[in-house]
Amino acid sequence: MNLLNARPMKTGISRRNVLKIGAAATALPLLGSRAFAQKATVKAAFVMIGTPDDNGWNYGHDTGRLYMLDQLGADKVETTVVTNVAEGPDSERVFRELAQQGHDIIFGTSFGFGDYMLKVAPQFPDVKFEWATGYATASNLSIYNAKFHEGRAVIGTIAGMMSKSGIGAYIGSFPVPEVFMGANAFHLAARKQNPNFVTKVVYVDSWYDPPKEADAARALLDQGVDVITQHTDGPAALQVLEEAIKQGKDVIGGFGQGADMSAFAPEAHLTAIIDNWGPYYTKAVKSVLDGTWAEGGFWGGIVDGEVVIGPYNAKIPADVVAAADAVKDGIVAGTYHPFAGPVVDTNGNVQAAEGDIIDDGEFWAAEAWYAEGMEA
Amino acid sequence: MSVDLVIAIVITLIGASTPILIAALGELVVEKSGVLNLGVEGMMLCGAVVGFAAAYTTGNPWLGVGAGALAGMLASMIFAFLTLTLSSNQVATGLALTIFGAGFSALFGQPYTGKPLELFRSVFPPDLSMHPILKVIFGYSPLVYFSLIMVVAVWFFLQRTRAGLILRAVGESDISAHSIGYPVIGVRYMAVAFGGAMAGIAGACFPLLLTPQWVERLTSGRGWIALALVVFAAWKPGRLLIGAYLFGLIATMELYAKAAGGVFRVLPSELWASLPYLATIVVLVLFSLRARGSTGAPACLGKPFVPAN
Amino acid sequence: MRLRLEKRPSPSQFMLFATPLMAVALTMVIGGFVFTLIGFDGFGAVREIFFTPLMNPLKWQDLAVKATPLVIIAVGLSIGYRANVWNIGAEGQYVLGGLSATGIVLLTQDMSGPWILPLMAVAGIAGGMAWVAVPAWLRTRYKVNEILTTLMLTYVSVNLLNYLVFGPWKSPRAFGQPQTIAFSADQSLPYIIPGTIVQLGAPIAVIIALVAWFVMSRSLFGYQVRTVGAAPYAARHGGFSANQTIWVSLLVGGGLAGLAGMLEAAGPFGRMVPQFPTGYGFTAIIVAFLGRLNPIGILIAGIVLAITFVGGEVAQTTIAFPYPAVGIFQSMMLFFLLAGDVLVRYRVRIGNRASAGDSTSEASA
């Protein structure tokens, strides 16, 4: 028995029919020989570790999916979302299932899916795989990532200028490259504004433990911190900041992570680093439609519109907005780099000399270190 | 450490401990009646999501607490019917209840994710609740005072009332209690319902007291800590209070120590996170040594009882 | 009118086999209706969750992979449960089994040979046993309730895992990500059916179930376990040591959970990662009950649970059935099964007619 014939798709046509229609529609262009077939419609799947309504990481990917659908049209693209997939052998099954169901391109939106995508991809050479935040490619597997740390440089600038106590905090999940790069970028940018700025890095050992994230924020506020940014998947810390402001405490605020979180903390939410996967998803799915998809790696940043800085809170002074925009524009123009030297770490090692720039990829592969003035 | 910091730590740790304390108080009564309900986490999740929904829809946190209690109690009735009326295995039923609670809360809560809520704040005037020193007494949500009142109430009920005596008798020897004419199953039903209501309120504490939002798995395993706490406290409400604040202190100090930096960070955070469980096991051994083989556990804990007719 | 239970002279063999089937059938019917009522494609979900994985041969390999750890752990647990020993921390013993095997992998990084895999298996079993030895010792020496100690050690084991993979065991080639090196070919389970993902673990699970069935039903040890569980006083008279039974049944349970951890680490995972604990140790408790604490029943129950997991994913992709609802289906199945338990040991009478039934306080499940 064949899975593809056994169960009609939601649209009522099997994959085989889809291909037939596709072939007919593009029959003429196909007369010229091409390595890849164009497609009239594409089925794209998104595999997520959580649910799209987490207000953070998965929300970002789902928003990107919707943007892509909007750009390419629902008549061209059909999408499937699989939520709550554990980063282990369970995901291998899901990737295989999706490939067998006739999806043309499958996005694995978390690092831990990689081993299993690399296992499944060779079995389905006609299916394209896309591994978010990954580090290895194959002939039908590409990787994509975002330079979140560029956004951290912008908000670090705001924190450095606005903090009265000169002590900021970075609530991290785990000391993985994405997180410690972000923390360093935040701190280095803040130090450019306030040379004595201190960043306390607190890891809560979870991507997702709202009560603990909130308690970490309370502990930090109680120890002189007045601006907090978090690198976990939710607004718990921002809500603590909002409450502190309501109680009249001398607190500046915090930043949304992954998505605009101002609904949770209208006062405390200064701006947000928004993961904007939409343009990349549009490009990737369109390349499957066009038959031009190719193995590769994409690491987009602010210049690509993949990392977006949200609207500024009205309480941010104009000069701070100007400085933040200057950093943003500098990154786009290539004149500002978050990891431009001189950078000295907490152990006194020179990580980058004056005039040097630490390459993003090099930093990504490095062991964790923290710039001078950070407490981690 | 300055006075301000000590007060701040106290306030944070009491907040973090309160849901665990409330859930553990309920479970203590359940276990005293001879029933082991491992479904605390599931009932808490039911209470959290329904409590959020009620508070969000009505804007009234009191209704949120009430709805949470009701949801927890209804969930506990599934457990009660299976284990008490049909005398099913309590361990398996409790675990099934946890799976149910996780699934139910995630499904029911889908429309409520991404919606902010107002915290359930202190009802005292700002002169007291915001006072730099006096806030350590007046600065809490009513849920905190509720948990403290319930410590005394549960102690009084178990030690000083006839109903409490019957409940303990049922937990110590269901057969004798039955032969004297006490309604064993009826008493256990009421105990389980109380435990469910308390777990529901404990769940409602998460959106109302700690992090005013609903997301899947909001209680993040705190229900299991409540179960450990009952054992840690040797089934005594007073010790439960101490134990809950001790657990809260350990959890909070980890974060304060990390925030403070310097020498406080030498302990790996995995060790911090293991401490409540390791401490409970050590305490169990100590109690066992002292009481010559008794940890204070009710004799009939976890054993089904089928009455004659 | 009220429900009244009348104890059967001996457990009903018919009900023993009929009730799990009834539980699954009831779940499909009632679950289908309830989810249809609240606006989902309830019966479509039943079809996708319970039937698609069975009807589609492509899914059989997935069932085998998913059922393997569940069956191995549940068989071990069932022996303890028969003896009235409640190890609910198999998840922790599973983690320790995986960690011990990983320890061997790191020690034998630069070596090769067919001896490595058996050594990993031994280490895995030993790791699981060592982790359960603490509750066993506390229970026999100090009468400390093993339900709570085994559960608490599970949390400690997860913290130990995190400490190791974020710290000393982190691969130098992992780009800072918390994971160990990948296991080599000699450190990984061989595939036994070419072209599939079925590894050596699956036949091991079947063999374990068969051996356990033989031991439990045909050997003196099996008799001892059943006697200690059902009638501790009689067992003491018969010369069976309760403490010895506790020790043996816990060690078997912990050892098998450890073996399952090793097979999972050396099989589907292929390296140690923080995501290694996926709840198999807890799900196996459900499997043990669904299988009626009978090794052959557990084999079937393991496959049934695997079907619901695999089918749950299918239902999500084909009819967009929400993931949390799968958990509701699973808990319903267990609720119905546990409710049906009563039919095995009791006749249910409705009404107030007096009966010959005696007051009974059952210690057994």
CATH number of the domain encompassing residue A64: 3.40.50.2300
| pLDDT of the residue at A55 | 74
Residue in A200, A205, A214 nearest the CB of B211: A214
Measure Cα distances from B156 to A16, B33, B45, C262 in Å.
72, 16, 29, 51
Q: Domain of C171?
A: 68-292
Residue of C nearest to B279 (CA): C152
Residue A318 lies in a domain: no
Assess C230–B contact: CB distance below 8 Å, yes or no.
no
- Closest approach of A223 to chain B, Cα-based (Å): 7
| pLDDT of the residue at A183 | 95
Number of domains in chain C: 1
* A169 and A221 together in one domain: yes
List, as ranges, residues 116-135 from B with C-beta within 8 Å of A.
Answer: 116, 119, 130
The DSSP secondary-structure symbol of A231 reads: E
How many A/C residue pairs have CB atoms within 8 Å? 88
- Closest approach of A361 to chain C, Cα-based (Å): 10
Assess C361–B contact: CB distance below 8 Å, yes or no.
yes
Residue in B114, B212, B261 nearest the CB of A239: B212
Contact C289 B274 (CB under 8 A): no
DSSP class per residue in C13-48: HHHHHHHHHHHHHHHHHHHHHHHHHTTS-HHHHHII
* A32 and A77 together in one domain: yes
Instruction: Answer yes or no: is pLDDT of C354 > 60.
Output: no
Parse chain B into domains and list their residue ranges: 3-290
Contact A176 C178 (CB under 8 A): yes
Starting at the earlier edge strand, list the strands of the sheet with A77-82.
Answer: A77-82, A42-47, A105-108, A128-132, A141-146, A297-300
Task: Tell me the chain A residues in contact with residue B135 when contact means C-beta distances shorter than 8 Å.
Answer: none
Residue in C56, C62, C271 nearest the CB of A93: C62
* A207 and A283 together in one domain: no
Residue C158 lies in a domain: yes
| pLDDT of the residue at A35 | 44
Higher pLDDT, C361 or A98: A98
Residue in B91, B99, B305 nearest the CB of C361: B305
How many B/C residue pairs have CB atoms within 8 Å? 173
Contact B82 C326 (CB under 8 A): no
Residue in B104, B271, B288 nearest the CB of C143: B288
Assess C37–B contact: CB distance below 8 Å, yes or no.
no
* A350 and A216 together in one domain: yes
Task: Tell me the chain C residues in contact with residue A1 when contact means C-beta distances shorter than 8 Å.
Answer: 55-57
Residue ranges in chain A whose pLDDT is less than 50: 1-35
Residue in B86, B99, B178 nearest the CB of C331: B99
| pLDDT of the residue at A10 | 29
- Closest approach of B143 to chain A, Cα-based (Å): 16
* A125 and A159 together in one domain: no
Residue C49 lies in a domain: no
pLDDT in tens, B38-48: 999 999 999 99
Contact A174 C56 (CB under 8 A): no
Residue A34 lies in a domain: yes
Give the separation between CA C39 and CA B111, rounded to whole angstroms: 14
Residue in A83, A87, A365 nearest the CB of C323: A83
Residue labelled with tokens 């630490």:
A358
Contact C282 B95 (CB under 8 A): yes
- Closest approach of A121 to chain C, Cα-based (Å): 14
Contact C55 A205 (CB under 8 A): no
Q: Which chains have at least 3 CB atom pairs separated by less than 8 Å from chain C? A: A, B
Contact A93 C323 (CB under 8 A): no
Contact A112 C275 (CB under 8 A): yes
| pLDDT of the residue at A367 | 80
Using alpha carbons, select from B164, B177, B73 the residue that is nearest to residue B81: B73
Task: Tell me the chain B residues in contact with residue A236 when contact means C-beta distances shorter than 8 Å.
Answer: 211, 213
Q: Domain of A250?
A: 149-274+339-375
Mean pLDDT of each 10-residue bin along chain B, 309 residues long:
86 94 97 95 97 96 97 97 91 92 93 87 86 88 96 96 94 90 94 98 95 87 89 90 91 85 70 83 78 70 71
- Closest approach of A105 to chain C, Cα-based (Å): 14
Residue of C nearest to A93 (CA): C62
Contact A6 C65 (CB under 8 A): no
- The SS3 call for residue C118 is helix
Residue in B106, B179, B305 nearest the CB of C324: B106
Contact A223 B259 (CB under 8 A): yes
Burial A20-30, CB ≥16 within 10 A → b, else e: eebeeebeeee
Assess C27–B contact: CB distance below 8 Å, yes or no.
no
Task: Tell me the chain A residues in contact with residue C182 when contact means C-beta distances shorter than 8 Å.
Answer: 115
Contact C143 B295 (CB under 8 A): yes
* A182 and A45 together in one domain: no
Residue A136 lies in a domain: yes
pLDDT in tens, C172-200: 877 778 889 999 999 999 998 887 888 99
Contact A3 C56 (CB under 8 A): yes
List, as ranges, residues 230-289 from A with C-beta within 8 Å of C.
Answer: none
Give the separation between CA B45 and CA B42, rounded to whole angstroms: 5
Contact B301 C145 (CB under 8 A): yes
Using alpha carbons, select from A223, A297, A227, A275 the residue that is nearest to residue A48: A275
* A78 and A176 together in one domain: no
Contact B12 A204 (CB under 8 A): no
pLDDT in tens, C89-136: 999 999 999 999 999 999 999 899 999 999 999 999 999 999 999 999
- Closest approach of A43 to chain C, Cα-based (Å): 12
Q: Which CATH class is domain B3-290?
A: mainly alpha
- Closest approach of A201 to chain B, Cα-based (Å): 7
- Helix (H) / strand (E) containing A132: strand A128-132
The answer to whether B66 touches B75, Cβ cutoff 8 Å, is no
| pLDDT of the residue at A34 | 38
Higher pLDDT, C243 or B302: C243
Rounded to 5 degrees, what are φ and ψ at B141?
A: -70, 150
One-letter-per-residue 3-state SS of chain B: CCHHHHHHHHHHHHHHHHHHHHHHHHHHHHHHCCCCCCCHHHHHHHHHHHHHHHHHHHCCHHHHHHHHHHHHHHHHHHHHHHHHHCCCCHHHHHHHHHHHHHHHHHHHHHHHCCCCCCCCCCCCCHHHHCCCCCHHHHCCCHHHHHHHHHHHHHHHHHHHCHHHHHHHHHHHCHHHHHHHCCCHHHHHHHHHHHHHHHHHHHHHHHHHHHCCCCCCCCCCCHHHHHHHHHHHCCCCHHHHHHHHHHHHHHHHHHHHHHHHCHHHHCCCHHHHHHHHHHHHHHHHHHHHHHCCCCCCCCCCCCCCCECCC
Stretch C223-240: mean pLDDT, rounded? 77
Task: Tell me the chain B residues in contact with residue A222 when contact means C-beta distances shorter than 8 Å.
Answer: 4-5, 8-9, 12, 256, 259
- Closest approach of A50 to chain B, Cα-based (Å): 9
% residues pLDDT > 70 (chain C): 95
How do beta strands A253-258 and A269-275 pair?
parallel
Cα radius of gyration rounded to whole Å, chain B: 20
* A238 and A370 together in one domain: yes
pLDDT in tens, C30-70: 999 999 998 889 999 999 999 999 998 888 999 999 999 99
Assess A224–C contact: CB distance below 8 Å, yes or no.
no
Residue A356 lies in a domain: yes
Q: Which chains have at least 3 CB atom pairs separated by less than 8 Å from chain A? A: B, C
Residue A259 lies in a domain: yes
- Closest approach of C316 to chain A, Cα-based (Å): 6
Give the separation between CA B272 and CA A203, rounded to whole angstroms: 13
Measure Cα distances from C66 to A89, A312, B31, C185 in Å.
9, 49, 35, 22
Assess C131–A contact: CB distance below 8 Å, yes or no.
no
Contact B284 C149 (CB under 8 A): yes
Sign, CA dihedral C258-C262-C264-C269, equals: positive
Residue in A202, A210, A215 nearest the CB of B215: A210
